[in-house]
Amino acid sequence: MRLVRATAILLALVGCAAAQSGSFVLRDDLQRDVAFASYPRRIVTLLPSLTETVCALGACDRLVATDRFSNWPAQVQALPKAGGLDDASVEAIVSLRPDLILISHSQRITGRLRELGVRTFALESQTYADIGRTLTIIGRILGVPDRAAALEQSIDAAVLELGRRAARRRGAGPTVYFEVDRAPYAAGPGSFIGELLARLGARNIVTNDLGPFPKLNPEYVVRHDPDVIFVSPAEASRLAERPGWDRLRAVKEHRLCLFDAATSDTIVRPGPRVPEGMRALADCLDRLGP
C-alpha cells in the first residue's frame, strides 16, 4: 500500500479530536489516548528514526535530548543523550523537563515516566506503512501537517521510482537473506526492509508467517541457500564459520552486500531517509547481478 493511501486511512482512524481551545488528542501505538494542550516545545526522542523524523519536519530546535544512537542530522550529536532502547535514564530525562517523549512502543520505561507525570507517545516502526503513518502523527503533534504530507509524498514517489527502475533492469530477482542481527535475526518480507527489497525484485527466503523480524535457526538459511546475503561487515568474514554456511553460494562466491555504518543507518532506520537506504540496496543488487 502506498504511503499516501495509508495516510488517508490513518486520518480516518487516528482519532485526533481538536477542541475549540486548540487542544487535541491522538491515540498512540499502545492504544492510549494522549492529550495535548498545545504543540510540544521540549521533546526527547528515544529512537533514531523518530529523531530523524522530527528534524526532517523542521523541528530539530525542539529537541532537548535523544537516545545515544541518534546521530543524524549532525546537529543532534551535541544534544544530551538519554540512553538506549533498553537502558534509557529516567532521571536524566526528567531533569530536562520535557513536555513530550517520543518512544518506541516496546520500550519498558513508558509506565515509569507516566507515573512521574511525563507525557510519552509510543510509535510502532516495523512496516513500510508505519513510516508514513509515523510522519503523519508526528506532523500533527508538531503542528506541521502540510509539511509532513509533502515529505510523505516525496518519500513515496522516490520509492516507487526506484522500484520502477529495478523492474526495467532485471527479470527474476535473486533470493536474499537480510541479517539485522547475528542471532540470527532476519528482515522478513513484512518488514519495511523486506518490502523495499521486494520492490527491487528480490525474493526473500524468509516467509511472511515468521513475522517482520524473526529469529531464525541458522539451518534455515543453509536449507534455503540464498543468492545474496546482506550482512554487517563485522560478520562477513565469520559467515563461513557458522555450521554449514561455508556451503552457501553467497558465502563461497562472496555475493555479499556490505555497507558502512552511515549507509547502514539509512537502510535499517524506518524514517525519512528510506529512499537513500533503498538506493543502496538497489546498487548492491545491480553490482552482484542475477
Please write the tens of the pLDDT for every residue from 88-109: 999 999 999 999 999 998 887 8
Per-residue model confidence (pLDDT) at position 3: 55
- CA within 13 Å, CB half, 31: 0
Which residue in the block uniquely carries the three cell numbers 500533527?
140
Per-residue model confidence (pLDDT) at position 16: 44
Is it the case that residue 5 has pLDDT exceeding 80? no
Using only C-alpha atoms, what is the Rg of the chain? 20
What's the whole-model pTM score? Answer: 0.91
Q: What are phi and psi of 120, to 5 degrees?
A: -120, 150
**What is d(CA 103, CA 210) in angstroms, rounded to the nearest whole number?**
25
Question: pLDDT tens, 170-223?
Answer: 677 999 999 999 989 999 999 999 999 999 999 999 999 999 999 999 999 999
The mean predicted confidence, pLDDT, of the chain is: 92
Is it the case that residue 21 has pLDDT exceeding 50? no
Question: How far from each other are the two terminal CA atoms of the chain, in whole angstroms?
Answer: 27
Per-residue model confidence (pLDDT) at position 232: 97
Report the 10 Å Cβ neighbour count for 223.
10
Is it the case that residue 20 has pLDDT exceeding 50? no
Per-residue model confidence (pLDDT) at position 236: 96
Give which of 136, 93, 100 is closest to 120, Cα–Cα. 100
Give the chain's count of helices (H) and strands (E). 12, 11
Report the 10 Å Cβ neighbour count for 222.
16
Per-residue model confidence (pLDDT) at position 110: 83
List the single range of 102-106, 222-226, 266-270 with lowest mean pLDDT. 102-106
Mean pLDDT of 134-149: 98
Mean pLDDT of 146-157: 98
Which residue in the block uniquely carries the three cell numbers 495509508?
6
**What is d(CA 43, CA 249) in angstroms, rounded to the nearest whole number?**
48
| Beta carbons within 8 Å of 6's beta carbon, 6+ residues apart | 129, 132, 133
